[in-house]
């Protein structure tokens, strides 16, 4: 039989061995955790790259689908938004998102073709404004005056302090109006 001192010494030796072994185990676990963190970081970077690629492809598909909404009217392609009421600035942005711009009507023939697509007594923003200089209507894309106007009676409304700076079609004629007004819009394809 072992005496108490021998048992105590044997137990302490066992604890020392166990502590030494546990340090090695902890070091081994820490090494494996570091390797896993590195692997997770690498895989996360791969996932983010795949996500970015998918977002690019989705954006291209979305733009292609949106461009399919453009229809040839005369010599150019147009999209007429009939269900979304937005201010002039939002209409301009929506057209750009579709790969186009707010429409500039070039002549009477084109206006007649476009008018066939429009609802009566409904406003449709187009690409004309006199935001920079009252009474000098220009395209927001080219910064040049258009070659064709067909104003509604009593329009354009030009006077100092006027807030009617953006142009829409209403029953086939142009009217200047407050750019914050909510109306439909007409885009033209730029490609």
Residues 140-150 as b/e (b if ≥16 CB within 10 A, e otherwise) read bbeeeebeeee
State the total domains in the chain.
2
Same-domain pairing of 55 and 76: no
Of 20, 40, 68, the position where a domain reaches its end is 68
Same-domain pairing of 88 and 104: yes
Same-domain pairing of 92 and 3: no
- Region 143-172: mean pLDDT is 85
Same-domain pairing of 43 and 54: yes
Same-domain pairing of 86 and 23: no
- Region 170-176: mean pLDDT is 94
| Range of the structural domain that residue 12 is part of | 1-68
pTM strictly above 0.75: no
Of 68, 91, 111, the position where a domain reaches its end is 68
Same-domain pairing of 177 and 113: yes
Same-domain pairing of 63 and 75: no
For the purposes of burial, counting CB atoms within 10 Å of the CB of 31, is it exposed (0-12), middle (13-18) or buried (19 or more)? exposed
Of 25, 46, 68, the position where a domain reaches its end is 68
Same-domain pairing of 56 and 105: no
User: Residue 24: its pLDDT value, please?
Assistant: 87
User: Residue 160: its pLDDT value, please?
Assistant: 66
Same-domain pairing of 54 and 75: no
Same-domain pairing of 61 and 75: no
Q: Per-residue pLDDT tens for 32-84? A: 999 999 999 999 999 999 999 998 888 777 666 666 788 888 889 999 999 99
Give the separation between CA 102 and CA 96, rounded to whole angstroms. 8
- CATH code, 157: 3.10.100.10
Q: Which of 137, 128, 122 is nearest to 81 (CA)?
A: 122
Q: Per-residue pLDDT tens for 82-131? A: 999 999 999 999 999 888 999 999 999 999 999 999 999 999 999 999 98
User: Residue 169: its pLDDT value, please?
Assistant: 96
Give the separation between CA 127 and CA 43, rounded to whole angstroms. 47
Give the separation between CA 105 and CA 75, rounded to whole angstroms. 11
**pLDDT band, residue 19 (cuts 50/70/90):** confident
Same-domain pairing of 126 and 48: no
Give the separation between CA 134 and CA 117, rounded to whole angstroms. 30
Same-domain pairing of 94 and 184: yes
43: which 2 tokens? Answer: 């895989």
């Amino acid at each position: 039989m072992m005496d108490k001192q021998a048992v105590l010494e044997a137990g302490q030796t066992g604890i020392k061995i166990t502590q030494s072994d546990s340090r090695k185990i902890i070091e081994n676990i820490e090494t494996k955790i570091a390797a896993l963190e590195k692997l997770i970081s690498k895989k996360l970077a791969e996932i983010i790259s795949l996500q970015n690629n998918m977002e690019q492809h989705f954006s291209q598909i979305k733009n292609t689908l949106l461009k399919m909404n453009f229809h040839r009217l005369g010599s150019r392609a147009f999209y007429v938004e009939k269900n979304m009421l937005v201010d002039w600035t939002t209409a301009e942005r929506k057209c750009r998102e579709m790969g186009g711009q707010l429409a500039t009507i070039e002549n009477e023939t084109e206006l007649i073709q476009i008018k066939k697509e429009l609802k009566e007594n409904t406003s449709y923003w187009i690409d004309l404004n006199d935001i920079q200089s009252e009474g000098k209507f220009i395209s927001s894309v080219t910064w040049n005056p258009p070659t064709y106007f067909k104003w509604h009676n009593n329009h354009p409304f030009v006077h100092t302090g006027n807030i009617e700076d953006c142009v829409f079609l209403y029953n086939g004629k142009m009217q200047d109006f407050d750019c914050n007004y909510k109306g439909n819009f007409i885009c033209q394809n730029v490609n």
